[in-house]
Amino acid sequence: MNMKEKEISWNSVNGYRQLHWGNTVGGLIDPDPIWKKRLPAGISHGQVLISDDQCYAMDSQHKIHSISLSDGQDNWNLKLEPNDYFMLSNIFSMDKYLLAGSYVIDTEKGKLVNDLSQLTGDLVLSNGSPSELHNGKIFMQINGAEAPGKILIYEPAVDHAEIVDIGIVNLCMPDENITYGWKPTGDGYILKSYNFTTTENKPLNPEVKLGRLIAESNHLLVMNENDITMIDLSDGNILWSRRTDSLMDSLDPKQNGSYRIAMSEETLGIYYLSHFIQIDRIDGKTLWKKDFGKHNLDVGLVGDLIYAAFDIYESLGKLTVKTAIDRYTGEELWTENTKHALNNVKASENKVLFVSVYGEIVCYEWDDSNPYHSPTMNKV
């Protein structure tokens, strides 16, 4: 199987948290890691990114580390001054550039290019909106009532910035030429903009509330704290909508955790605390759901597999478990205990990283010439 995944993770209270991309190839991992590395300062909020043959990690002392995926050796590290965007945002990559909060970094030289928060005057960049990176340009939403629908467009290769009023909030860009979003008034319309010049309105059912948007293969996923809705972009009609609190059985409403979602061409995976569910992307029906009885910390998807990290609370204390799960059946295919508390899983190409809160990164590798395929035929 070879498809593109979108992994999304957002906090059920504070809204959108992170967006990252990966290619879905590969199979079960070799039980022995190819390298381990520990960053003495720990890793800030588990913020690690895989891009091509590099791993980028942000430590708790505001330093970005560029690490080779093949052997775990440092390429460079860069100390940055902390600001609100750096501390609260995740890291993204594009070509030879890295975006860490509002900081743009040249990954070939390991040098700071610019701080985008200094380019907007009195206007404030939005921490709640994702950044979009396309064709050598960075697009960032500007926050505040005085700037509804405005974005910052920055081209690092020529160090050029401009602020454009596109009349859209909750920026969602499948590519550089098409943008989806809401009118700033949030009055039940999706606005589709072509090159920020011509626009097309698509009315929505009033019950679809303002939320984070993800566009993929003529479908638009709208997410908020209460609902998940799939929309057909060809006509704006709702394909299906489900309440997040009704997706899992026996959820304690007092529990607070982070929903993690991964959307592919076939399925939509939702992961919350110990509960996992796989949904048919087209009709919204549940393919399978399972309570693993363990507190999920993070997930990474590769082909037919879900790599996950769990916490297990026992009489003698807490134990962290690494596992690989068949995404179509929910069967656990591989597990391994670890002494270190994990808070991040990243999978890309033929490697998967398990990251601990203490700064240890463990890299596994598999032979992608013989990928794992789920034995079930229950695929969309």
| pLDDT value of residue 12 | 27
Position 84 pLDDT exceeds 90: no
CATH architecture of 3-8+13-365: 7 Propeller (2.130)
Per-residue DSSP letter, 198: E
- Is the per-residue pLDDT at 114 higher than 70? yes
Contacts 24+ apart (CB under 8 A), 96-104: 97/133, 97/138, 97/156, 98/49, 98/51, 98/56, 98/64, 99/131, 99/133, 99/138, 100/56, 100/58, 100/64, 102/140, 104/138, 104/154, 104/156
Place of tokens 């700033």: 184
Q: What are phi and psi of 19, to 5 degrees?
A: -140, 130
Instruction: Give the pLDDT score at 87.
Output: 56
**What is the distance between the alpha carbons of residues 363 and 368, in angstroms, rounded to a whole number?**
15
Residue 250 has pLDDT above 70, yes or no: no
What is the pLDDT, as a whole number, of residue 348?
79
The torsion angle over the Cα atoms of residues 289, 295, 300 and 303, rounded to 10 degrees, is -30
Per-residue pLDDT band for 206 (boundaries 50, 70, 90) equals low
Closest-CA residue to 137 (of 149, 155, 121, 120): 155
Confidence label for 106 from pLDDT (cuts 50, 70 and 90): very high
Beta bridge partners of 171: none
Among 135-139, 202-206, 306-310, the minimum mean pLDDT is found in 202-206
Name the band, by pLDDT with cuts 50, 70 and 90, for residue 221. confident
Query: What is the average pLDDT across 154-161?
Result: 93
pLDDT at position 361 is 92
Does residue 256 surpass a pLDDT of 80?
Answer: no
The listed range with the strongest mean pLDDT (61-75, 243-257, 268-282) is 61-75
**Domain extent listing, the chain:** 3-8+13-365
Q: What is the mean pLDDT of residues 110-116?
A: 93
For 245-254, the CB contacts below 8 A with 24+ separation are: 247/272, 247/275, 247/277, 247/286, 247/289, 248/272, 248/275, 248/277, 248/289, 248/291, 249/275, 249/289, 249/291, 250/291, 251/275
Determine which of 5-19, 157-171, 244-258 has the lowest per-residue pLDDT on average. Answer: 5-19
pLDDT at 44 over 90: no
**By mean pLDDT, which of 62-76, 155-169, 302-316 is the weakest?**
302-316
Strands 132-134 and 137-143, how do they pair?
Answer: antiparallel
pLDDT tens column, 318-339: 667 888 888 888 888 888 887 7
Positive or negative: CA dihedral 22, 25, 28, 29: negative
- Quick one: DSSP state of residue 244? H
Q: Residue 212: its pLDDT value, please?
A: 77
The mean predicted confidence, pLDDT, of the chain is 76
Residue 301 CB neighbour total at 10 angstroms: 24
